[in-house]
Structure 1
Amino acid sequence: MAHFPVNHPARALYRVLAGVIGLYILVFGVWGVAVTWGEGLFDRGSNWALGLRTNLAFSLVSVIFGAVLIVGASRRSNLGHYMNLTAGVVFLVTGVLMMSVLQTSANFLNFSMSTVIVSLLFGLVLLATGLYDKIGPPEHAEAERRHRRATVPGGR
């Protein structure tokens, strides 16, 4: 069974990191919508926003996703914990899938290799923030700390 740290001392830093990533994604999406407005939804042209290749569909999804991440980072509940875990997995899976179709007509989000790398990096950071920003009552945090420090039966 997985043991997530509860009330980690650096959880505020992790929430800030998730918020900064959400803000970048939101600004990228808005900029991308402005750049690609009037073109086809899944156009595979040479449109770039904040160093990443994009199309209107990817930009619109980024606006929504960025706003969701900012909301999750601003909440002082476990909503952000679950949102960051989910977003981390989504970014990692999307990065790998889009890398596998990069030079094909299936690249419907118009990813470039730099977009794949940023997606994978954001996925790793969001996954890490999700692992360390769980909030719970002090007794749960103490029980989790005791469990972590407990010795393994058999003298290990």
Structure 2
Amino acid sequence: MAHIPINHPMRPLYRTLAGLIGLYILAFGILGVIETSGESLFARDGVWVLGLRTNLAFAIVSIIWGAVLAIGAVIGGNVEHVINLGAGLVFMVVGLVMMVLLQTGGNFLNFSMSTVIVSFVFGLLVLTAGLYDKVGSSEDVEAEERFRHNNRPSFPATSSGE
């Protein structure tokens, strides 16, 4: 059983944070499509939107992921929990892959180092939101607390007179 808190008191804050990140990514994608319209899908021009370099393919992918995060924040509950965990991992992996491909011809999403950093930061924030926004019944909370407190390693008592 994972030690993911259930009904964490900061859940509304994390839900709001993930929703705002989703809206930023959605706005970035929409503006990116507007700025890169008429160019090829994987162009490597110097098009910058909201401080990040983009091309049409990256803008379209951003619209999709931004909408997924924003819709997840609206739906809430364990649907959002799963979406945030998955999206956080996706942002981290994409950021790492694109950092490796940054100075090569394989940079098909036209990333810059600032885009990689933003991908890592957003990935960490959304992943953190996913770790703290799990929802459950009071029985689920009690079961998690019993599990957490009963499975601690026991250490032998030490004498303080050494």
* TM-score (structure 2 length as normaliser): 0.92
Q: Which residue of 1 is the match for residue 89 of structure 2?
A: 89
Aligned to 1:74: 74
**Secondary structure of 1:78 counterpart:** helix
SS in 2 for 1:15: helix
Q: Aligned partners of 1:86 and 1:63: how far apart in 2? A: 16
| Secondary structure of residue in 2 paired with 1:102 | coil
Gaps of 5+ in 2: 157-162
Report how many aligned residue pairs link the two structures: 156
* Root-mean-square deviation over aligned CA pairs: 1.3
AA aligned to 1:34 is I
2:17 equivalent in structure 1: 17
Q: Is the 8 A contact 2:77 2:133 kept in 1?
A: no
SS of the equivalent of 1:6 reads coil
Where do 1:132-147 residues align within 5 Å?
132-147=132-147
Gaps of 5+ in 1: none
Give the Cα separation in 1 of the matches to 2:46 and 2:153.
60
Q: 4+ residue stretches of structure 1 with deviation over 6 A?
A: none
Q: Describe how 1:1-156 pairs up with structure 2 within 5 A.
A: 1-150=1-150, 152=152, 154-155=154-155
Deviation at 1:142, TM superposition (A): 1.9
Distance 1:56 1:76 in 2: 30
Tell me the distance in 2 between the aligned counterparts of 1:68 and 1:152.
Answer: 38
